[in-house]
A = this chain, B = another copy of it.
Amino acid sequence: MTELFLQSIRKLVEFTPEETEQFLSCLKRVCIPKKSFHLKAGEICTSVAFINSGMLRAYYTVNGEDITGEFIFEGNWISDYPSFLTKTPGKLYVEALEDSELFVLDYNKLQWLYTQSQNSERFGRLIAENLYIHLNNRIFSFLTEKPEDRYKNLIKRRPNVAERIPQHYIASYLGVRPESLSRIRKRMAAGDIS
């Protein structure tokens, strides 16, 4: 049941069996049915959560418009990390697009884990570094790439997005209107965009 979780951890750090046990003992299993919310803007996010199965969409609402920040699939972590770290109200909505099973780790438990071993600190550092790299890449993609290039890169690098995410959410992720994404897809199908 925790195999995916352990695989994900092993990519970052080599926990001892005791450290692994300690980490696992801090997790709480939570099920989020499709279309339900895991996080809501305005509330303080008090946990990070590993997605053991399912998929969620994280989005912001800016001037009444819905901006998709990220799609998060099984095997990854989800949090409103700035809210979690600063204990201030979050800006993120996180909604399950599929029935999802999460392993939730509360703020106090994570802070306690950090005090328990150098490996736990390393784990936290690498998670934060990866988040920073990802956010930076996402900004750069917006600053420097055309929407059609963003779309091509997205479906190339993350085929599960094309397979499992409705088109209007992909449009929102790319920062274009659904009708623009339709045009891009038609031009790609016609071979106008390679």
Q: How far is the CA of A143 from the CA of B91 in the complex (A)?
A: 12
Asked if A164 is at the interface (CB within 8 A of a chain B CB), the reply is: no
Asked if A82 is at the interface (CB within 8 A of a chain B CB), the reply is: yes
List B contacts of A160 (CB < 8 A): none
The 6 A-B residue pairs whose C-beta atoms are closest, nearest first, are A121-B121, A128-B128, A125-B125, A118-B118, A124-B125, A128-B129
How many residues on A have C-beta within 8 angstroms of the other chain's C-beta atoms? 28
**CB within 8 Å for A86 and B121 given contacts A60-B143, A67-B143, A143-B67:** no
A81 (CB) vs chain B CBs: closest residue: B132
List B contacts of A133 (CB < 8 A): 81-82, 85-86
Within the oligomer, what is the number of copies of this chain? 2
Q: How far is the CA of A117 from the CA of B91 in the complex (A)?
A: 35
A118 (CB) vs chain B CBs: closest residue: B118
Which one of B62, B85, B122, B125 lies within 8 Å of A144 (CB-CB)?
B62
Which one of B124, B125, B132 lies within 8 Å of A82 (CB-CB)?
B132
Q: Output the least CB separation between A135 and chain B (Å).
A: 6
Please tell me if the beta carbons of B118 and A82 are within 8 angstroms of each other in the complex: no
Asked if A7 is at the interface (CB within 8 A of a chain B CB), the reply is: no
Interface residues of A in 131-178 (CB under 8 A from B): 131-133, 135-137, 139-140, 143-144
